[in-house]
Amino acid sequence: MAVLTTSLLPLGAVLDWGPNNDKCHVWPLLEQSLSGQEKPSKLYADEGYDAEWVHGVLCREEFGIASTVIKPARCAADGSCRGEYRCQMSEDYLKKQGYGLRWKIESYRSALKRTTGSTLSARKPANPLKEAVFKVLAYALNR
């Protein structure tokens, strides 16, 4: 789910069955998030989205996002990260770029689950994903 840190409104959501790597859904999530009137200039993401192709090719070249702030998932044994953009993601850089704002998104997700419930009750195979989308929409309207 992509959420604006200013208004805490969801910009997009990608739903899927079962556990996946976050990077599998970054393209459609950004496509949804940037298709509306709100066009964020900075992307804050957790380490599940850390990859050089996400920082560079996808965000900067494809979608025109000027800055990505993604905590590195893994670094080399000597502490360095490989890649032109990944190597910039030091602790100081993350602090200066406001990586701490991610708490707002985590808080949003927590409140969404507390308000709408953390389980889905739909039984037919086509309905659980629809129910999840409706929960996100209902929570956004309720805020």
Give the number of domains in the chain.
Answer: 1
Task: Give the pLDDT score at 101.
Answer: 87
> 3-state class of 42 per DSSP?
strand
Residue 78's CB is within 10 A of a number of other CB atoms, namely 5
What are the average pLDDT values for consecutive 10-residue runs of the chain, which has 143 residues? Answer: 87 86 90 80 89 90 87 78 86 92 91 93 90 92 87
Taking the C-alpha atoms of residue 137 and residue 106, their distance in angstroms, rounded to an integer, is: 17
Task: Give the pLDDT score at 116.
Answer: 94
Q: 31 CB contacts (<8 Å, ≥6 apart)?
A: 12, 63
Q: Beta partners for 42?
A: 67
> Which pair of structure tokens corresponds to residue 29?
């999530």
Task: Give the pLDDT score at 127.
Answer: 93
- 73: domain range? 2-142
